[in-house]
């Protein structure tokens, strides 16, 4: 009987446990998979202010650990190149003011002013040590309410589908609000370090789940990238056990969070106590940001009033059974290229520019009704598809090369070669540049570049003008920008400043702007050697009436627009006519070899120009060797030979390359490359290191093409989102290394710094060595 009663009690207790689980204060903050712990409530409130209360024209000066301490809300100038310096100075002054107040209070000083009393009240009798610590923790945060609202509106295009995808993976659908933290739901978002799309996947993480190459970048596609995000987040959750840790791992990395969990156990302990070397402000706050963004975005009417979300996107997917030109598909489905580009953001620009085909296996999105689109798809002729992708051809410039000779060697016109590489009418090239060779059926269109290559539109200086005279080229940026803006609109240029620049005028400006100009110049910029034709034309500075648009109009009147347009296959394009004439004028001098300068000589030219930009802030960079459209670096295989029936060769490691990249391009495991080079597992490779490779599964040429496309993709994506606005000098200090500098000091990728400093050995930087650091600005969407 006793046993029966005991068993009954056990059964009742078990039933109670099933029906009424025990209460745990921390774990049951709520049944919400995204709990708000007491230790993070102030942080969530802080980020709600950032997302919903204050706009991008405001910012918060605050303590970087206790986010309940906000010293001041400061006003900022509207975003732009000129306001950047003003805002930075305003922020630094405010931070320094509060730093000095805190240091004074920590030293026992009395709080006399209202501001000092306010600060002291924020700390409520804190110790001197706490006040001293706070002095080193003053931080600025720009606010984002207007940008966040834009993201809420944009999210309507895909939010319903994204939630459905998360449900299909068995994940909380509210994870759909995470892109508000990552990108403000900006489908075109691209960071300086190469993270792309609404989920901001880097190449390394993205390639685990998606296709990322020169033709296709699925990070840019909100739907395909959401499938990748779901798999990545599910993986993080299975490793870490809860969503606060799994979401923090989205920012900090799963391995880093597993280490933190091993040391401190719970999220609360990690949030409050973990001080890992890489666990900084962003990682500590990432989960709090998500919770705040989720609250604001889910209840957007509460925070922003009546808002209309973007309409959901609808389309039909048509699988590609082979490679096909996008223009042919556009004609067949009777859909314009702009619409196809909007619906297929994963397809990279080379596809829409005709340099690459839509890849085989891709599901092309077409607007319209399902039955109608599928009927059209069934009628695609077999000969619309081809078996191979278009190749990416490039040529690495050597000393003694000329643009004309390179064009003839590859069977393309000089005009197309110049346009494909943004070379301008002078056809100036440099050793080490990797020129893109346009495909034979490609319609190449020259793009205007006011911000990075002003020398093509600003008249050349007279011989012997010297360094200070060259600096004045940057003062003509306004004229250049007006010309480019008018050209983009295909309208005549207004010649308000239509005057030739003479040496006398230069001297006058030098005397006014640069009083030191009369002193001897110690170093002259090493310019590339030019032909006799170019030297002759440089002496007579062209007037603004001879600008691109004026020449185009003159030529159109003389030869007739239609006839010339047919030659260029760009019917009615006045700009194309001007470019044809520019190419004809440059052809003669391009035939004579332009002796490509050494890296040291090129960099000296950059160095001189960078000094001028530093002295003339706000002027665009106009140095000769830099070209945003041309990849630099040694991308060719050296000393290729046949050994035991297989091709082997050597390469020099370039920036952003890893053994994983080489293995992927060679279609071999990384271990085989390690064995071939005697590299231990975990032993890193370094920049410029010489590696031996074996080409067993692909040809040397295919490897070089893949390598070129990798670097070309990175640079194209960067310069589609950012522009070079100027440059400054940085002097190397003790303890510096290029990787830390780029992350913490410059906030720029290493490849970009190397593009401006090719002659420097980044593995062995010397004390007081000077680097040219470009000033980069974001290109605002049109």
H/E segment holding residue 166: helix 159-168
- Buried/exposed 318-350: b ≥16 CB within 10 Å, e otherwise: bebebbbbbebbbebbebeeeebeebbbbbbeb
Tokens of 60: 């918060």
Residue 436, classed as helix, strand or coil, is strand
Q: How far apart are CA 589 and CA 490, in angstroms?
A: 29
Distance from chain centroid for Cα 762: 22
Q: Is 184 left (phi over 0), alpha (psi -120 to 50) or beta?
A: left
Residue 284, classed as helix, strand or coil, is helix
CB of 300 closer than 8 Å to CB of 152: yes
Q: Is 30 left (phi over 0), alpha (psi -120 to 50) or beta?
A: beta
Edge to edge, what strands does the sheet with 138-142 contain? Answer: 70-75, 58-63, 138-142
Give the length of the chain: 782
Q: How far apart are CA 508 and CA 469, in angstroms?
A: 10
Residue 65 has, within 13 A of its CA and on its CB side, a CA count of 14
Residue 492, classed as helix, strand or coil, is coil
Q: How far apart are CA 509 and CA 758, in angstroms?
A: 32
Tokens of 278: 């890489």
Tokens of 272: 């409050």
Tokens of 256: 């880093």
414: CB partners within 8 A, 6+ apart: 403, 404, 407, 427, 583, 586, 587, 590
- Buried/exposed 591-619: b ≥16 CB within 10 Å, e otherwise: bbbbebbebebbbbbbbbbbbbbbebeeb
DSSP state letter for 381 = -
Cα dihedral 98, 102, 105, 109 sign: negative
- The catalytic site residues sit at 182
Tokens of 365: 């999105």
Tokens of 666: 């060679």
Query: What are residue 652's DSSP bridge partners?
Result: 690
714: CB partners within 8 A, 6+ apart: 194, 656, 749, 751
CB of 326 closer than 8 Å to CB of 353: no
Tokens of 282: 């962003």
Tokens of 252: 């900090």
Q: How far apart are CA 111 and CA 113, in angstroms?
A: 6
- Residue 577 CB: number of other CB atoms within 10 A? 26
Which residue, among 208, 185, 291, has the nearest Cα to 660 in the 3D structure? Answer: 208
Q: How far apart are CA 334 and CA 544, in angstroms?
A: 43
């Amino acid at each position: 009987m006793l046993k029966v009663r005991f068993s009954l009690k056990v059964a009742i207790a078990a039933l109670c446990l099933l029906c009424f689980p025990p209460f745990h204060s921390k774990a049951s903050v709520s049944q919400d998979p995204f709990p708000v712990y007491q230790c993070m409530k102030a942080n969530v409130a802080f980020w709600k202010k950032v997302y919903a209360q204050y706009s991008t024209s405001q910012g918060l000066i605050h303590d970087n650990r206790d986010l309940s301490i906000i010293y001041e809300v400061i006003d900022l100038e509207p975003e732009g190149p000129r306001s950047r310096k003003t805002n930075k100075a305003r922020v630094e002054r405010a931070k320094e003011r509060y730093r000095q107040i805190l240091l004074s209070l920590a030293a026992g000083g009395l709080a006399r002013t209202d501001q000092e009393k306010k600060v002291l009240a924020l700390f409520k009798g804190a110790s001197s040590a706490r006040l001293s610590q706070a002095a080193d923790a003053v931080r600025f945060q720009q606010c984002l309410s207007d940008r966040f609202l834009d993201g809420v509106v944009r999210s309507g295009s895909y939010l319903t589908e994204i939630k459905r995808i998360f449900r299909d993976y068995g994940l909380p659908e509210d994870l759909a609000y995470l892109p508000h933290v990552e990108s403000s739901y900006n489908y075109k978002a691209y960071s300086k370090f190469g993270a792309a799309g609404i989920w901001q996947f880097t190449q390394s993480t993205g390639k685990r789940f998606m296709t990322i190459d020169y033709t296709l970048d699925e990070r840019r596609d909100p739907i395909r990238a959401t499938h990748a995000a779901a798999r990545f987040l599910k993986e993080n959750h299975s490793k870490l056990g809860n969503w606060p840790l799994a979401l923090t791992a989205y920012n900090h990395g799963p391995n880093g969070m597993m280490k933190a969990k091993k040391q401190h156990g719970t999220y609360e302990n990690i949030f409050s106590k973990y001080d890992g070397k890489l666990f900084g402000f962003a990682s500590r706050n990432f989960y709090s940001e998500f919770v705040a963004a989720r609250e604001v975005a889910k209840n957007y009417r509460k925070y922003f009033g009546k808002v209309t979300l973007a309409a959901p996107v609808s389309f039909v997917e048509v699988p590609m059974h082979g490679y096909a030109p996008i223009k042919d598909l556009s004609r067949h489905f009777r859909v314009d290229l702009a619409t196809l580009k909007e619906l297929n953001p994963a397809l990279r620009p080379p596809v829409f520019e005709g340099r690459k085909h839509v890849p085989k296996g891709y599901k092309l999105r077409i607007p319209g009704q399902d039955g109608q689109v599928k009927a059209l798809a069934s009628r695609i002729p077999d000969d619309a598809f081809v078996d191979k992708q278009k190749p990416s051809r490039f040529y690495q410039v050597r000393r003694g090369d000329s643009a004309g000779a390179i064009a003839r060697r590859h069977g393309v016109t000089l005009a197309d070669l110049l346009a494909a590489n943004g070379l301008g009418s002078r056809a100036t090239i440099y050793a080490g540049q990797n020129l893109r060779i346009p495909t034979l059926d490609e319609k190449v269109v020259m793009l205007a570049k006011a911000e990075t290559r002003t020398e093509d539109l600003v008249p050349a200086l007279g011989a012997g003008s010297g360094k200070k005279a060259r600096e004045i080229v940057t003062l003509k940026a306004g004229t250049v920008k007006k010309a480019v803006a008018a050209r983009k609109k295909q309208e005549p240029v207004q010649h308000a400043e239509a005057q030739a620049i003479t040496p006398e005028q230069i001297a006058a400006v030098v005397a006014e702007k640069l009083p030191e100009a009369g002193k001897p110049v110690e170093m002259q910029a090493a310019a590339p050697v030019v032909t006799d034709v170019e030297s002759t034309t440089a002496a007579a500075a062209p007037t603004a009436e001879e600008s691109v648009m004026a020449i185009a109009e003159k030529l159109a009147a003389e030869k007739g627009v239609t006839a010339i347009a047919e030659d260029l296959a760009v019917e009615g394009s006045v700009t194309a006519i001007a470019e044809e004439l520019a190419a004809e004028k440059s052809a003669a001098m391009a035939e004579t070899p332009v002796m490509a300068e050494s890296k040291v000589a090129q960099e000296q030219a950059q160095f001189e120009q960078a000094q001028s930009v530093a002295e003339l802030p706000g002027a665009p960079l106009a140095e000769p060797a830099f070209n945003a459209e041309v990849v630099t670096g040694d991308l060719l295989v050296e000393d290729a030979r046949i050994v035991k029936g297989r091709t082997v060769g050597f390469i020099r490691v370039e920036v952003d390359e890893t053994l994983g990249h080489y293995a992927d391009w060679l279609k071999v495991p990384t271990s085989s490359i390690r064995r071939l080079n005697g590299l231990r597992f975990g032993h890193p490779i370094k920049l410029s290191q010489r590696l031996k490779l074996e080409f067993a599964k692909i040809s040397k040429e295919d490897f070089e093409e893949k390598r070129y496309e990798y670097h070309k993709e990175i640079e194209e994506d960067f310069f589609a989102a950012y522009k070079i606005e100027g440059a400054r000098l940085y002097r190397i200090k003790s303890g510096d290394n290029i990787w830390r500098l780029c992350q913490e000091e410059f906030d720029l990728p290493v490849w970009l710094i190397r593009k401006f400093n090719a002659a420097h050995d980044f593995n062995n930087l010397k004390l007081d060595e000077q680097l040219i650091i470009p000033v980069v600005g974001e290109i605002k969407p049109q």
